[in-house]
Structures are given as structure tokens and as C-alpha cells.
Chains A and B, each alone.
Chain A
């Protein structure tokens, strides 16, 4: 019997859904065993009956629920709760569902300050009241999915690696547990570390990096040692695919594969770690000038602002 799958998107760009399609040929093998019963991005399935005749939101029962996106407004909160009620196993797909994602950078400001900026202080917009009609009210901040409902499986990434989705679904079909091992991107990165302190200025990625695409990976020096900000030391590994380099099998993280430093989309290596603090330690240890890190809070929490990692700074009552 096919396993019933329900998919839902909340506060998200839609990239994670594209990643599901991006699975490619392995998807064809999986599809035989999967039966998609609900997926707004592909199927015309309304919450309140096809003609809006029902009073209660209804999502069909399913064995596996895949939810992408964080929770920003009341409607998304209700959908998330309904998904949890109807699905036996719930998968949080992508960094938004796991940690709040890019939208959670807004968590640095109180909601009222955001409204003020967007509707009244923005130079390119005519000042107006905050719209309220026919819109679900926003929550006070962006929540990661697991702050609202219990989550069984987390697949981070922005977007994630299609191979991880296959691995998770296959594990579920076989009844095996699925977890990403607690390793950092540096642990699997094939670039060469000379273990010498880099020292000096932090470079922008626009400035030319030293690499040679025609030679194996271990001929390129670690980007951090070259002076670029790479979030590898504080980011969970898992984005990379295996490939052959110089007769050896190596796993190349995906940003590194494109000769770019890691941006940290897989989130902290273990629960409770703070990439902001750990990364500042790493930068000072390697001898780079910590003062030159631009916009530290947002940059080092770029994908993980939910779960209270980003919040308005405390203000002392006068």
C-alpha cells in the first residue's frame, strides 16, 4: 500500500518544493510508493472544501507530512497545527521550517517597528495605516516550526540537498531512524588547511579568491585561511555530495563546490550552540580582525533567527 504524503508550505519562497522536484530520477522510484494527498504547490486542494462550503479547515489524513517554511502569521500557525494533527510523522523541510530562515532576520526588531518602517517611514511608499482587512494577523515574531508543533525529522538547508530528502523518505519507508550526524562543514570539506593563522583583513567574496578549478580539491587553500568569512566551522555538515577527486572519494559541501565560502544555511551543529559566539571565537583564534565583520548579528544568524537566536536587544526601563 502506498504511503500517504501531505505537503504544506508556510512562510517560504518555494525553493524547498523545487528541491523535491530536483530529486530527479530517484523520485521516480519513490513515487510508486508515495501517494500525495495534499500539496498546495501542485494540487488544487482548498482548506475549507472546494467551494468553501465547510467551516473547519480540513487537511486529509496522511502518514507523512512535509512542512516547509517558518510560522509568521495566524493562518500558518493553524495550518501547522492541522498538519500535526493529521500526519503521523512530521518532517520540517528547509532552514525556514527548522530555524526560521531568512525571514527570521526580522526578529531583530519588534513588530511595531517593522510596521512603522514598511508602511510609514519607507521613502518609496505613501504613508498608510497597517493593513488589517482580509489578512491573517502576523505573530509577534517568526517562529521555527518546532516552536509551534512537535517535529519528528529535521532536514535543514536553504534549499536543502535533494539527496537528503530521498534518504529521509527511504528511511521512513523502511521504518529506520533518520538523523544528520553532528559534524561541521569543515569536517568534510576537502580544501587544504595549512594550520597557519591567516591574520589581517577580512576580504569580501567579490575580491578574487585563489583557486584552480582544473586541479584536485586539495590544491585549493581553506577559504577562511585566505581571509574570507566562511561559516563552515559552526555549521552542520550534510549539504555536500560525494565526488571523485584525484582517485579519492571526497564530500564537497555545496557552496565550496561553487568556490564560495559556506553561508551557514544548515544551522548550528548541535542544539543549543550559538554560531554567532562560536564564529567570533573562530575568527579571533585564526587571527582575523573581528571588528571587520559587518552586521555581525544578522550575518552570523542569517538562516537561524528563530528559536530566540535573534530578538530585539533588551532595553533597560528608565
Chain B
């Protein structure tokens, strides 16, 4: 199924305080990572409800990456823990919609982890590329 020309579209939700800054650092320190990620800045990973993830995956995205602060580092104290609680609901919903679990990832990236952000994006892009296009893509 792996189409040579297939370029996955991955939506990334990055929290304003850690992961977006981490992505910024990856950029200014000239870390190389695939351009398949489309970043949406959100105030906190805790505001990424399952419907945002499912909507993205059923309306054309091949993967969704949610990035937040490390546990304990959240600017809003426990927003990232809320995101973690929702992770299970999202995984069950992926099953209900017939979407492969690898298409969704929740990762903690701090503002100083530019190289790690690049690494996460590389891993995710390769994993989704191996899966092929989303079956909801028309």
C-alpha cells in the first residue's frame, strides 16, 4: 500500500507554553524535520478535546500529534493531565471509527527540547507514511 509519492498530512496541536516554544527552538537551531506537520498553536494540550482529533482524522488528516508540557510543568497546573485522561477516550474512539491507533500520538515536549521535537515529528511522519493514506481521505 505504501505509495512512493504519498506525503502524509499530520496536524499537530502544540501548547503555547512548552511544545510550541520547543518547535520554535527546533526551527531556530536548524534541526531538520519533515515538513508534513501542520502546527496549530493551542493554549494548553488540555483543551484538545477528542472531537478535534476525530474531526481532523475523518476530514482529511493522516495523523494527529498532540504535544504538551511534561507532567508537573503545565502552565495551568494540570491541563496536560487532562489531556492524558482523554487519551484513553481518543484511543477507544479511533477503534470505533476504524482508524489505526498509530495515527494519533500524545507527546510531552518542553521548551528546551528542540531536538526531541524534531525526533518526534520524524518518527511520527515515518510511522504514518508506512500506514498509507487515511481511509477517510476521499
Residues of A that sit less than 8 Å from B by CB: 274, 276-278, 280-281, 283-285, 287, 290-291, 293, 296-297, 313-317
Contacts and interface: CB of A to CB of B under 8 A. Distances in A.
B130 interface: no
Contacts of B135: 314-316
The majority secondary structure among interface residues of chain A is: helix
Nearest to B134: A314
A290 B88 contact: yes
Nearest to A314: B135
Contacts of A313: 97-98
Size bin of chain B's contact surface: 10 to 19
Interface string B2-27: 00000000000000000000000000
A297 B89 contact: no
Contacts of B85: 284-285, 287
B89 A284 contact: yes
- Residue among A278, A280, A316 with the most chain B CB within 10 A? A280
A277 B93 contact: yes
Contact of B89 (A274, A283, A315, A316): A283
B96 A276 contact: yes
Given A291-B92, A296-B96, A281 B1 contact: no
A280 B93 contact: yes
A316 B82 CA distance: 33
Contacts of B1: 316-317
Nearest to A289: B88
B136 A281 contact: no
A280 B96 CA distance: 11
A315 B54 CA distance: 18
Given A284-B89, A291-B88, A314-B136, 12 more contacts: A274-B51, A277-B50, A281-B50, A281-B51, A281-B89, A285-B82, A285-B85, A287-B85, A293-B92, A297-B96, A313-B98, A315-B98
A276 B54 CA distance: 11
Contacts of A297: 96
A317 B3 CA distance: 13
B98 A280 contact: no
Contacts of B49: 281
Across the A-B interface, the 5 shortest Cβ-Cβ residue pairs: A313-B98, A314-B135, A284-B89, A280-B89, A290-B89
